[in-house]
Structures are given as C-alpha cells and as structure tokens.
Structure 1
C-alpha cells in the first residue's frame, strides 16, 4: 500500500490564532493583504492533494460560505453530525474515527496526499505524530484572542525547516516537514 502524506496548509495571526473566538476569519480577507494574482501557493497545494480532512467546527464554518470551496472529497471527523445536506452528499463524508483509524481508512481507499484543516483536527494529528508537512503563513495582525492553531500537542515535535517565503503584504510563509 502506498504511503499516505498528511499536510497542513494554514494561516495564523502573529499571536497564533487561526480565527476569532466566534470562528470569524475576516482578518484573512482584509483588502490590505490582497496581492493581485497571488494565491500564496494555495492552488498548487490543492492540486497536489487527493482529499481534505477537517473537524466538525471547521466544516460547520465552511458550510456557511456562499459556495463550497473545495474541489476534492472532504472527510469530516465528528461524533455528533449525522447527515450532510443534499447539495454536499457527493462532496462530503462524515466519519467518526480516530486519527490512526482514519489514516488506515484513507490509505485503504487509495488516497495518497491529505490536507488537514482546522485547529482541533491539526492538534489531534500532531499529538499522534501523523503530520508530515506543515505550511504555515503568518499574517501581520495581532488578534489578542481567538482559536489557537497550537494547543496541547503533547511532547516536543521536532520539525525540519524547508523554506520560507516573504510577501510584500507582510505575509511570511514557512514550510516544515516532520524531522
């Protein structure tokens, strides 16, 4: 069975938050941060993945967007959600699995590169030592409070720095792999 790669691609405020306390991400779309024709490597990253994995909270936030933003299959980890709206049935699958069970499930179905999204999901997979690559874009804003990217991830997690790119709008994007 081919190896499964689990990657994170996420933006944080300088103080480490991925969203405001209410889940809002309006600070990410501030016009001051827009660079025409620049997507900060997002499309290339999306083209490289087979599917996405997110938790209930991230899914519920994304489900409020005017259009579903993901062209690939999305697996939502939840112990409470029981159904998916008709419009998303062909795009979203609900699963109640541990991180390790999910890796086995996805690898067994031929998936090779998975995008992990959402703070709690990323933290769970980091705690289990399952994150292979982390692309972290730091946005030059201090939120003061919000949903943190990193919480209790257990013992130290050694990472190897691969590259850092700076952008004229102040974004600093660093890519790391598991050491």
Structure 2
C-alpha cells in the first residue's frame, strides 16, 4: 500500500527558496560527499556523504510517483520528463502547458491536490508517493493526506523566502518523534503524521 510522503530541503528558518525562487545554498548537501547516488536524469548528480546517500536511496527507491505544483514544475522545466527520483510526475495545475503531451509525455496534469494524490497512488502501483512542492504539501497536510513529513534541514538562514509550511486551517498538526539522520551539510528528519 502506498504511503504519502512530503520532502523538501529547507533552511533552518523554514524556507525552501529565496523570494526570487532561487535555492541559494539549500542544495549544497547534494554535492558535499563522495558517495554517488545514481538517478535517471543525466543532468543531475548526487555526490553525498554515506548517511545522506542511504536516506536519499530510502526516499527515492520506493517512490512510484511524485507530486509537484505548477510553479516548481515550470522552474525545473519538468525535469526534462525525467525526475531524479525516477518516478512519474503528477502536476497540480488549473492550466496545463499547451505542449504538455509532446514535451512531457510521462507527466500527468490534474487540477486539485485530492486528484493528484489519487492519481499518484494509482500510478505508483503500491510504491510510495512523494510530494515535492511547498504549497501542495501545505494543502495535502490540511486535508489529512500526508503520512510522513520529511525535511532535509540545512545550516543556512535565509531571513525571507518561500516557506515550506503555512496555514493549516487554524489547527495544529501533531507529528510523531522524528527519525534523524545526521548528514554532511544537512540534517534529515522524518516525522510520521500522528493519526
């Protein structure tokens, strides 16, 4: 049965990008070691420390589908239709790109978070689903659709930017104690959502 994870790399003060969508030093941990973690996208390389490599493998090897918002999809240019997680991508958008079928034939476009999660579970065929966009994560958490929140926390303070977490409809969301992996240039935290 598929589990729904969210995962983002985040600054210590809670941001996943600068106000201009640039990532600054957030992804430094992806090149802070000597352990190569292969992925299907030849334009992306991961050379991390051993602890981060194991965490990265754990998070990606059982991912059958990935959910992204349109903003991230556009910034990444659809990852060239080969997301580094090696999974099919489901994009939440009200207006898909006109040339979507030609440029990104393995990508699915849907108009709501609920339909994205349902479609991703179907595509994943028993494997896990990872949400990799802040706004989509925020909506999915508010809807009770996330099983585990994953954060790769990096040692930088942005002071401003795009937050990973936002409004949860005026309620608190309780998480279980984290699984903690100390990596080089990142502290990886996995919090199961309390049911």
TM-score between the two structures when normalised by the length of structure 1: 0.85
2:71 is equivalent to residue 57 of structure 1: yes
2: CA distance, partners of 1:94 / 1:26: 29
Q: Which residue of 2 aligns with 1:22?
A: 20
1:11-55 CA distances to partner (integer Å, 9 max, x unpaired)?
Answer: 100000001111111312348971221262223311111100111
TM-score between the two structures when normalised by the length of structure 2: 0.78
The 8 Å contact of residues 54 and 118 in structure 1, kept in 2 or not, is answered as yes
The 8 Å contact of residues 11 and 137 in structure 1, kept in 2 or not, is answered as yes
| Pair 1:31–1:123, CA change in 2 (3 A) | closer
> The residue matched to 1:136 in structure 2 has which SS?
strand
> The residue matched to 2:160 in structure 1 has which SS?
coil
- Tell me whether 50-59 or 77-86 shows the greater mean CA deviation: 77-86
Query: In the TM superposition, what is the alpha-carbon distance from 1:100 to its structure 2 partner?
Result: 2.8
Q: Which segments of 5 or more consecutive residues in structure 1 lack a partner in the other structure? A: none
RMSD of Structure 2 on Structure 1 (CA): 2.5
Q: Which residue of 1 aligns with 2:177?
A: 161
The 8 Å contact of residues 83 and 89 in structure 2, kept in 1 or not, is answered as no
2: CA distance, partners of 1:42 / 1:109: 21
Query: In the TM superposition, what is the alpha-carbon distance from 1:109 to its structure 2 partner?
Result: 5.2
> The residue matched to 2:58 in structure 1 has which SS?
helix
- Give runs of ≥4 in structure 1 deviating > 6 Å: none
2:162 is equivalent to residue 147 of structure 1: yes
- 2:89 pairs with 53, 74, 77, which one? 74
> The residue matched to 2:189 in structure 1 has which SS?
strand
Q: Which residue of 2 aligns with 1:12?
A: 10
Q: Which segments of 5 or more consecutive residues in structure 2 lack a partner in the other structure? A: 36-47
How many pairs does the alignment contain? 174
> The residue matched to 1:161 in structure 2 has which SS?
coil
> The residue matched to 1:160 in structure 2 has which SS?
coil
